[in-house]
Structure 1
Amino acid sequence: MTSVAADSLGHTVRVAEIIAETADASSLVIEVPAELAARFAYRPGQFLTVRIPSDRTGSVARCYSIASSPSTDDRIKMTIKRTADGYGSNWLCDNITAGDDVHVLPPSGTFTPHSLDGDFRLFAAGSGITPVMSILKTVLASATGRVSLYYANRDRDSIIFDAELADLSEKFSDRLTVEHRLESETGLPTPDSLTRFADTGQDGTVFVCGPAPFMAMVKETLTSIGYDRHHIHIEEFRSLDGDPFAPITQVTATDGAGSSTVDVTLDGDTHTLSWPADATLIDVMVNAGIDAPYSCREGECGSCACTLVEGTVDPGVTDALDPDDVADGYILGCQAKPTSPTLRIEF
């Protein structure tokens, strides 16, 4: 496979407003130019990848969830909570003001409902509320199901979107239930408290976001009381080591390397592509002009997760997939390389 350089990825957008959510969390309201509106259309629960200047490496990339809803909000709102040693979160909170530009990749991520029908059981801790809030608002505005939220925080002052949740609870009093779990008042979340909250919702769709121990506790508790693990969706972010804004390698020739044939189904359309043995699926799709879903390109975020329906691959790094995902046939398009003559993959 030979390659040539391509243009750097991402787009520059303007920060229209900064909203102080709590003492250590702020939201950036993004103004997207009209010509990029289609490119920045998003689904509830997705995130933006932001390029942040760094004296040491030139730049670093960080992912921050979208808290706005495509059903109710005209502009994208991305929420950032400071962490003690978080370079990206502290830099954005300390340096970005209204009117500044930021360089971002289009919305991405798979932590989003396939359907808004039915009831939703949502679990969040701390800043994990951000993508959950987007899902909650979208379901209430665009569907008819009930929504229940279990939200854990240190204390009352650390509740992100506290006033907005109160307003929504009043507006949708017949459909929305919010249970705050405050460490300062009732202690940390426990399996018993999760069970009491969830033991009547086994037929609902579940979304969970927060620190890893919290998410593991929620999943273990729910499966122990009868929830289908396939209906439990877990979100998690890792710091990115590479540069997802760097150009994608252009696949121009196989140069003797073996190629496979792959049928890729994305958004209802099937594309038949030649897939060189030394290229990743995302490289092949992007070079074919397909708007492939990806973000980190390191196997860390799960945005490019897809199902291997037929054929075999070298899966590469699969840190974003848990063992259940792998058992169900999921692979990562930014990592997988073909090891069989023909393959069939669905996004």
Structure 2
Amino acid sequence: MPSFRPIRISAVVPETADAFSLVLDTDLDYQPGQYLTVRTPAGARCYSLSSAPGIDAAPTVTVKRVPGGQVSNWICDNVKAGDVLEMAGPAGTFTPDSLDDELLLLAAGSGITPIMGIVKSLRRQPALVYANRDIDAVIFRDTLDRMLPVNHWLDSERGVPTADSLRDVLIPYTGREAFVCGPEAFVAVAEKALQLAGVPAARIRVERFEIEPVDSPESVAEVTIDGQTHVLPWTPGKRLLDVIIDAGLNPPYSCRQGQCGACAVRLLSGEVTLVNNEILEEEDFADGYTLACQALPVTEHVSVTYY
């Protein structure tokens, strides 16, 4: 079991609309790329250190809000300077063997958090590819752009990265060791792209961010598809797309990761929460759209329609 200790939060720094850095009032012996386990009244989660030892004045963890995620939402909504949280660590092996190496770094979304600590620590400038939904979602944008040339991959401009499209970006750096961090879907694409570009598997280091679990009640889904309405039992923890497919229906979908929007449905009544969303904007939600592949029920009855 990890050994927890109380740590005071000296500052809370907003990074984007849904990401915050917690500056810690403590001495910490850690390596760039490691993480701390943070315990809250809502549960415990691991959050990477975005600071660099010996460079930043204080250790810092960065937390991005996950829709429906109990711990991340509790932290983003409640933690303020002066608060004390229990933390354990540091831990993790997502750290460079040498700070003198030229590295290739790939990150998506909050996957930039451990990468940021590595970027600050390296003595030679790395190559960085950083994928996000749009420019407003880029964590540490100004700081990163001051430090090095960043290849920003914005889904809003270039589409969701594929192994083939990402490979072309990586080819100039195939002689370097690669560090990859982000959601499972991005990591899988990045690993494939690196292999296609000729980077040996032994030279690829990976840190996968697990999707924060969310609670959901037992519910009923009323689904209108192809002009017919079906009433389907919706068991806790199951996503709407799986409920529909398991009922023998044939809904549209593609990535199943909340990145492409192919599974979008219009919410007629009830409420859902999304495990992950990298495609829908506020205006889409205002129009009633949600993602079947990421939707979990909040209410006991949910009604949706496929156009």
Q: Return the TM-score normalized by structure 2.
A: 0.66
Q: Is the 8 A contact 1:209 1:235 kept in 2?
A: yes
Give aligned-pair identity as a percent.
44
2:200 maps to which of 206, 210, 228 = 228
Match of 1:42 in 2: 30
Q: In the comparison of the two structures, how many residue pairs are matched?
A: 213
Unaligned runs of 5+ residues in structure 2 are: 214-307
1:92 aligns with 2:75: yes
Question: Residue 36 of structure 2 aligns to which amino acid in structure 1?
Answer: L
SS at match of 2:23: strand
Match of 1:332 in 2: none
Over the residues paired in the alignment, what is the CA RMSD in angstroms? 1.8
1:116 aligns with 2:88: no
Unaligned runs of 5+ residues in structure 1 are: 1-5, 55-59, 170-176, 242-347
SS at match of 2:173: coil
Match of 1:156 in 2: 135
Following superposition, the deviation at residue 85 of structure 1 comes to 1.6
C-alpha separation between the residues in 2 aligned to 1:89 and 1:205? 31
Q: Is the 8 A contact 2:184 2:209 kept in 1?
A: no
1:131 aligns with 2:114: yes
C-alpha separation between the residues in 2 aligned to 1:74 and 1:212? 32
Question: Residue 191 of structure 2 aligns to which amino acid in structure 1?
Answer: K
C-alpha separation between the residues in 2 aligned to 1:240 and 1:178? 28
Following superposition, the deviation at residue 192 of structure 1 comes to 3.2
Q: Is the 8 A contact 1:15 1:29 kept in 2?
A: yes
SS at match of 1:181: strand
Match of 1:311 in 2: none
The structure-2 alpha-carbon separation of the partners of 1:240 and 1:20, relative to structure 1 and needing over 3 Å to count, comes to closer
Alignment deviations for residues 250-303 of structure 1 (CA, whole Å, 9 cap, x no partner): xxxxxxxxxxxxxxxxxxxxxxxxxxxxxxxxxxxxxxxxxxxxxxxxxxxxxx
SS at match of 2:67: coil
Q: Is the 8 A contact 1:12 1:101 kept in 2?
A: yes
Q: Is the 8 A contact 2:23 2:59 kept in 1?
A: yes
Question: Residue 212 of structure 1 aligns to which amino acid in structure 2?
Answer: E
2:7 maps to which of 4, 9, 13 = 13
Alignment deviations for residues 42-68 of structure 1 (CA, whole Å, 9 cap, x no partner): 1000011011114xxxxx210001101
1:218 maps to which of 190, 196, 202 = 190
SS at match of 1:192: helix
Alignment deviations for residues 117-142 of structure 1 (CA, whole Å, 9 cap, x no partner): 22110001111110011111110xxx
2:145 maps to which of 159, 166, 171 = 166
Q: Which moved more, 1:191-200 or 1:116-125?
A: 191-200
C-alpha separation between the residues in 1 aligned to 2:172 and 2:154? 22
Alignment deviations for residues 204-243 of structure 1 (CA, whole Å, 9 cap, x no partner): 11110111111011111111221111111110244799xx
Aligned residue runs from structure 1 range 227-246, under 5 A: 227-238=199-210
Q: Is the 8 A contact 2:9 2:24 kept in 1?
A: yes
Q: Is the 8 A contact 1:61 1:240 kept in 2?
A: no
SS at match of 1:93: helix
SS at match of 1:200: helix
C-alpha separation between the residues in 2 aligned to 1:240 and 1:11? 23
1:106 aligns with 2:89: yes
1:75 aligns with 2:54: no
Q: Is the 8 A contact 2:9 2:83 kept in 1?
A: yes
SS at match of 1:131: helix
Q: Is the 8 A contact 2:10 2:81 kept in 1?
A: yes
Question: Residue 150 of structure 1 aligns to which amino acid in structure 2?
Answer: V
Deviating above 6 A after TM superposition, structure 1's stretches of 4 or more consecutive aligned residues are none
C-alpha separation between the residues in 1 aligned to 2:188 and 2:168? 17
Match of 2:20 in 1: 26
The structure-2 alpha-carbon separation of the partners of 1:220 and 1:78, relative to structure 1 and needing over 3 Å to count, comes to same
Question: Residue 69 of structure 1 aligns to which amino acid in structure 2?
Answer: A
C-alpha separation between the residues in 1 aligned to 2:115 and 2:49? 9
Q: Return the TM-score normalized by structure 1.
A: 0.59
* Higher RCO, Cα 8 Å, sep 6+: 1
